[in-house]
């Protein structure tokens, strides 16, 4: 079973700053990783899929990359609406899915 480890648990940044979130898989999942954004009181929303593809309607300030088992979500310049919790998810044993523990991006 693949384990996803997200870091840091909390990221304290100011609007306009760059955010870099990490998700490490315990074994190779090639590029089959997604990122979700969740705001308080809302369901998660698909943000990125297949490691580096933005979901429809997601702004270009969001980008994803990967190298081996390390995946990165980057927000180039934080907007007020970007402060939320971000989860990564893999589907190597689809239709099952495994999620990471989340990274909270909070306002500094």
Partner 1 sequence: VQLLESGGGLVRPGGSLRLSCAASGFTFSTYGMSWVRQTPEKGLEWVSAISGSADTTYYADSVKGRFTISRDNSNNILYLHMNSLRAEDTAIYYCVQSGYCSPTTWYPAWFDPWGQGTLVTVSS
CB closer to partner 1 out of 82 and 90: 90
CB of 23 to partner 1, least distance (A): 13
CB of 2 to partner 1, least distance (A): 12
For the record, the structure tokens of 49 come out as 């899929």
CB closer to partner 1 out of 14 and 94: 94
CB of 28 to partner 1, least distance (A): 17
Instruction: Give the residues lining the site for partner 1 (CB under 8 A).
Output: 34, 36, 42-46, 49, 55, 87, 89, 91, 94-102
For the record, the structure tokens of 27 come out as 């074994």
Strands 103-107 and 10-13 turn out to be parallel
What torsion do the CA atoms of 65, 63, 17, 41 make, to the nearest 10 degrees?
-110
CB closer to partner 1 out of 62 and 100: 100
Angstrom distances, CA of residue 104 to CA of 30, 56, 68: 25, 23, 24
């Amino acid at each position: 079973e693949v384990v996803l480890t997200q870091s840091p648990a909390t990221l304290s940044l100011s609007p306009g700053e760059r955010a870099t979130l990490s998700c490490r898989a315990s074994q190779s999942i090639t590029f089959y990783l997604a990122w979700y954004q969740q705001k308080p009181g809302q369901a998660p929303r698909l943000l990125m899929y297949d490691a580096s593809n933005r979901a429809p309607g997601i702004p270009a300030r969001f980008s994803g990359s990967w190298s081996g088992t390390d995946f990165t979500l980057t927000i180039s310049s934080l907007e007020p609406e970007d402060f939320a919790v971000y989860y990564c998810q893999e589907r190597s044993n689809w239709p099952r899915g495994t999620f990471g523990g989340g990274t909270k991006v909070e306002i500094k």
